[in-house]
Amino acid sequence: MSAISKKLGNGVAPFIIAEMSGNHNQSLERAKEIVKEAANCGVNAIKLQTYTADTITLNHRGGMFEIDDQNSLWKGENLYDLYKQAYTPWEWHKELFDYANKLGLIAFSSPFDETAVDFLETLDAPMYKIASFENNHHPLLAKVAKTGKPVIMSTGISNILDIQESVRVLRENGCQSITLLKCTSTYPSSPENTNLNTIPVFKQLFPDCNIGLSDHTMGIGVSIASVGLGATVVEKHFTLRRADGGVDSAFSMEPEEMKLLVDEIKKASLALGTVQLNVQESEKNSLIFKRSIYVSQDIKKGDLFTEENIRVVRPGNGLHPRNYKFILGKRAKCELKSGTPFCEEFIEQNEKN
pLDDT surpasses 80 at 73: no
Give yes or no: residues 216 and 198 share one domain.
Answer: yes
CATH number, domain of 324, equals: 3.90.1210.10
Peptide bond into 315 cis (omega under 30): yes
Give yes or no: residues 189 and 131 share one domain.
Answer: yes
Q: Phi and psi at residue 339, in whole multiples of 5°? A: 95, 0
Give yes or no: residues 309 and 259 share one domain.
Answer: no
**Residue, of 231 and 55, whose pLDDT is higher:** 231
pLDDT surpasses 90 at 130: yes
Mean pLDDT of the chain, nearest integer: 93
Give yes or no: residues 253 and 291 share one domain.
Answer: no
pLDDT surpasses 90 at 246: no
Q: Supply the pLDDT for residue 71.
A: 76
With pLDDT > 70 as the criterion, what percentage of the chain qualifies? Answer: 99
Mean pLDDT, residues 246-265 taken together: 93
Q: Phi and psi at residue 15, in whole multiples of 5°? A: -90, 120
pLDDT surpasses 60 at 353: no
Judge whether 71 lies within some domain: no
Give yes or no: residues 292 and 258 share one domain.
Answer: no
Judge whether 286 lies within some domain: yes
Judge whether 58 lies within some domain: no
Judge whether 79 lies within some domain: no
Cβ–Cβ < 8 Å for 162, 191: no
Choose the final residue of a domain: 272, 290, 311: 272
Choose the final residue of a domain: 213, 238, 272: 272
Judge whether 115 lies within some domain: yes
Judge whether 291 lies within some domain: yes
Q: Which of 252, 345, 245 is nearest to 295 (CA)?
A: 345
Give yes or no: residues 245 and 227 share one domain.
Answer: yes
Mean pLDDT, residues 292-321 taken together: 97
Q: What one-character-per-residue DSSP string does 230-284 give?
A: T--EEEEEB-S-GGG--TTGGGPBPHHHHHHHHHHHHHHHHHH-----S--GGGG
Give yes or no: residues 300 and 330 share one domain.
Answer: yes
Q: Which of 55-69, 109-123, 243-257, 277-291 has the lowest mean pLDDT?
A: 55-69
Judge whether 59 lies within some domain: no
The whole-model pTM stands at 0.86
- At 185-237, the pLDDT tens digits run 888 899 999 999 999 999 999 999 999 999 999 999 999 999 999 999 999 99
The neighbour count for residue 195, using CB atoms within 10 Å, is: 12
Give yes or no: residues 289 and 250 share one domain.
Answer: no
* Confidence category of residue 148, pLDDT binned at 50, 70, 90: very high
pLDDT surpasses 80 at 350: no
Cβ–Cβ < 8 Å for 178, 208: yes
Give yes or no: residues 254 and 297 share one domain.
Answer: no
Burial of 276 (0-12, 13-18, 19+ CB in 10 A): exposed
Choose the final residue of a domain: 207, 239, 272: 272
Give yes or no: residues 206 and 93 share one domain.
Answer: yes
pLDDT surpasses 60 at 158: yes
Domain coverage including residue 169: 5-51+87-272
Give yes or no: residues 193 and 311 share one domain.
Answer: no
Tell how strand 15-19 and strand 233-237 pair up. Answer: parallel
CATH number, domain of 13, equals: 3.20.20.70
> Helix, strand or coil for residue 1?
coil
Domains identified in the chain, total number = 2
Give yes or no: residues 262 and 299 share one domain.
Answer: no
Judge whether 68 lies within some domain: no
Burial of 115 (0-12, 13-18, 19+ CB in 10 A): middle
User: How far apart are alpha carbons 19 and 194 in whole angstroms?
Assistant: 18
User: How far apart are alpha carbons 144 and 9 in whole angstroms?
Assistant: 20
Q: What one-character-per-residue DSSP string does 284-319 give?
A: GGGGGGS-EEEE-S-B-TTPBP-TTTEEEESSS-SB
